[in-house]
Homo-oligomer: A and B are copies of this chain.
Amino acid sequence: MNSIRTTPTLHDVAIQSGVSTATVSRCLNFPEQVSDKTREKVMRAVDALGYSPNFGARVMASQRTNTIGAIIPTMENAVFARGIQAFQEELNAHGYTLLVASSSYRADLEEQQVRSLVARGADALLLIGHDRDPSIYEFLNAQKVPCLVTWAFDASAGRPSVGFDNRLAMHNMAKVVLNHGHRKLALISADVAANDRARARLDGMRDALAEAGLDAGALAVIETPYGIDSGARAFEQLMQAPDRPTAVFCGNDVLAVGAVGKAREMGLGVPDDVSIIGFDDIELARVAYPKLTTVHVPHREMGRRAARALVDTLKTGEPIEPQELAADLRLRESHGPVPKGR
Contacts and interface: CB of A to CB of B under 8 A. Distances in A.
Contact of A56 (B75, B78, B121, B228): B121
A288 B100 CA distance: 30
A261 B331 CA distance: 18
A143 interface: yes
A136 to B, nearest CB: 12
A138 to B, nearest CB: 9
Given A261-B287, A283-B284, A55 B85 contact: no
Grouping DSSP codes into helix (H, G, I), strand (E, B) and loop, the A interface class, with mixed when no group exceeds half, is helix
A25 interface: no
A306 to B, nearest CB: 16
> Which of A55, A57, A98, A118 lies at the interface centre, i.e. has the most chain B CB atoms within 10 A of its CB?
A55
B143 A7 contact: yes
Interface stretch (A46-54, A199-207, A311-319): A46-54
A75 B89 CA distance: 11
Of A52, A254, A287, the most chain B CB neighbours within 10 A belong to: A287
Contact of A116 (B88, B97, B264, B286): B97
Interface residues of A, number: 49
B121 A102 contact: no
A65 B58 CA distance: 14
Contact of A7 (B74, B120, B144, B228): B144
Given A56-B60, A119-B53, A142-B50, A75 B65 contact: no
A321 B74 CA distance: 30
Given A7-B143, A82-B75, A289-B289, A59 B55 contact: yes
Nearest to A57: B60
B50 A54 contact: no
A41 interface: no
13 contacts: A7-B144, A55-B59, A56-B57, A57-B60, A60-B60, A67-B120, A75-B75, A75-B84, A78-B81, A98-B100, A228-B283, A228-B286, A261-B287
Given A60-B60, A88-B102, 17 more contacts: A7-B142, A50-B139, A52-B115, A52-B118, A52-B119, A52-B143, A53-B119, A55-B59, A55-B65, A55-B119, A56-B57, A97-B101, A98-B100, A228-B287, A284-B287, A287-B287, A287-B288
Interface of A: 7, 50, 52-60, 65, 67, 74-76, 78, 81-82, 84-85, 88, 97-102, 115-116, 118-121, 139, 142-144, 228, 254, 257, 261, 264, 283-284, 286-289
